[in-house]
Amino acid sequence: MPTRAEELREAVRLAVAATLGVTDVVQKMHHTIGGGPEVLGRPLEAIVKLISAPAYAGVKLVTNLVGSGLDVVLEQLGPVLGPGGDSEEQDLVIGALNGVVGDILAERSSTLAMTTGFRRAGKTLDVSQLGQVTGKLLVLVHGSSATDGCWSRKGAHHGEALEQEPALGLTWVALRYNSGRHVSINGREFAAALEQLVTSWPVPVTDVTILAHSMGGLVTRSACQLAEEQGLSWRKLLRSIVFLGTPHQGAPLERAGNVVGTLLGISRYSAPLTALAQIRSAGVTDLRFGLTRDDEWQTGDRFAHEADPRKLAALPSGVACFTIAATTAKAVTPTAVGDGLVPIASALGKHERPELSLAFEASRQVVLADLNHQDLLSDARVTKQLIEWLSTNC
């Protein structure tokens, strides 16, 4: 956990980087518009650049000076500010920040970048301090712009509710990861971390069940693919996966963001604004189509307006897979939309291309009305459905 001074220093650095980035955008637009018509060869561009250069250089100089000064002051105040907090509010901010720019934070080795690991009750998991446990693991996997703290919501906690069901015999742990990075990178680290957890668990692990919300479902599917390829032991122990509002076939909001970014680039006057439209993490752009593999994003430009790069999608074989979709409508009807972020069809794994459709059995899929995306984490109907399904598959 970073200290309070380290947190503030990282926040200052992000603010400085953002200010410099916006200044560059404004400068480019100023040069483009003030340079005159393209058909005349933009005759005024050289003059505009010459006249405006001192002003923009001054803004950048002052921004860097202020940032450097604050960095020095905060470093000196470290002992006074004390250790970093571990509050619910801080957790929400950290999760959101990682969801938006987590890939950049990771590249900079920022203290604000979340690392992959398991937690329980808001603390880093220490298997030696767990007390009495069972050999049936329940792993909770959060979604985009969230942390493991998301599972405790409105007085509810699916993990605790399932653990308290004697017939299930489960012991829950929660994965924490940086949702701003590519899904496949998080999937790889999840697979490795789960292998280590199973190996170090106090008693022999006999069953693994995964409960995943939103992007967490994509990370889970990615981890399963890698575990199969690498022959990891936990893959053979995996009995059930329940997906809550997972965008298996992508999310419309990210597709809309991609279109906006493309349209901005059409005109040279608005082209500089594409830099702002591209302040979206690798994890977010993976949500456009629900990418889960390295080869689905490594060969293209993640900001380009391109076709779905996936060749095949499938649920892990030999595993009981369940999915719960939600709609904000008061009733489930043929025209009902999704939960505000994920369409019903996407959460159910349906796609017009058969090779991309996920074959959930009819009895293993449910659509709940009058729920938004986040409500899936706390609604009593979800808890009841989880108990019903897992009672026959744990």
| Of 108 and 238, the one with more pLDDT | 238
Domain limit, last residue, from 85, 104, 125: 85
Classify residue 57: in a domain, yes or no.
Answer: yes
Which phi and psi (to 5°) does residue 242 adopt? -115, 125
What is the SS3 assignment for 14?
helix
Dihedral angle, C-alpha 176, 158, 349, 184, nearest 10 °: 10
Total domains in the chain come to 2
How long, in residues, is the chain? 394
Average pLDDT for residues 178-203, to the nearest whole number? 97
Phi, psi at 139, each rounded to 5° = -105, 125
- Residue 93 CA to residue 353 CA, distance in Å, equals 38
Distance separating alpha carbons of residues 264 and 271, to the nearest angstrom: 5
Let me know whether 200 and 55 are in one domain: no
Residues 320 and 171 in one domain: yes
Residue 193 contacts residue 175 (beta carbons within 8 Å):
yes
Q: Judge if 158 and 198 occupy the same domain.
A: yes
Paired strand residues for 175: 118, 141
CATH of the domain at 183: 3.40.50.1820
- Where among 62, 85, 108 does a domain terminate? 85
Q: Look at the block and give the residue holding tokens 């953002």.
A: 18
Is the domain of 42 the same as that of 149? no
Token duo for residue 110: 């920022």
Residue with the larger pLDDT of the pair 95 and 322: 322
Considering the domain boundaries, does residue 296 fall inside one? no
- In this model, does residue 101 exceed pLDDT 70? yes
Mean pLDDT value of segment 66-93: 57
Are residues 75 and 122 located together in one domain of the fold?
no
For the stretch 8-31, pLDDT in tens is 566 656 555 655 555 564 566 555
In a domain, 293, yes or no: no
Show the tokens assigned to 246.
């997972």
Judged by average pLDDT, the poorest of 103-112, 124-133, 171-180, 359-368 is: 103-112
Q: Specify if 273 maps to a domain.
A: no
How does the average pLDDT of the chain come out, rounded?
82
Rounded Cα gap, residues 103 and 180, in angstroms: 5
266 within domain boundaries: no
At residue 113, the pLDDT reads 86
Domain membership of residue 107 (yes or no) is no
Full domain range(s) for residue 22: 4-85
Indicate if 81 and 134 belong to the same structural domain.
no
Q: Is the pLDDT of residue 43 over 50?
A: yes
Q: 119 pairs with which residues across the strands?
A: 124, 174
Same structural domain, 133 and 64: no
Give percent of the chain above pLDDT 70: 70
> What is the arithmetic mean of pLDDT over 128-133?
90
Q: Are residues 144 and 79 in the same domain?
A: no
Question: Is 76 a member of any domain?
Answer: yes
- Lay out the sheet containing 238-244: strands in order across: 123-124, 117-120, 170-176, 136-141, 207-213, 238-244, 320-326, 365-368
Clarify whether residues 148 and 244 are in a common domain: yes
Domain end call among 64, 85, 106? 85
**In a shared domain, residues 130 and 203:** yes
How does pLDDT run across 259-271, given as a tens digit for each residue?
A: 333 333 444 443 4
Instruction: Say if residue 234 is in the same domain as residue 361.
Output: yes
The span from the CA of 324 to the CA of 314, in Å, is 17
Residue 9 included in any domain: yes
Regarding whether 336 and 229 lie in a shared domain, the answer is yes
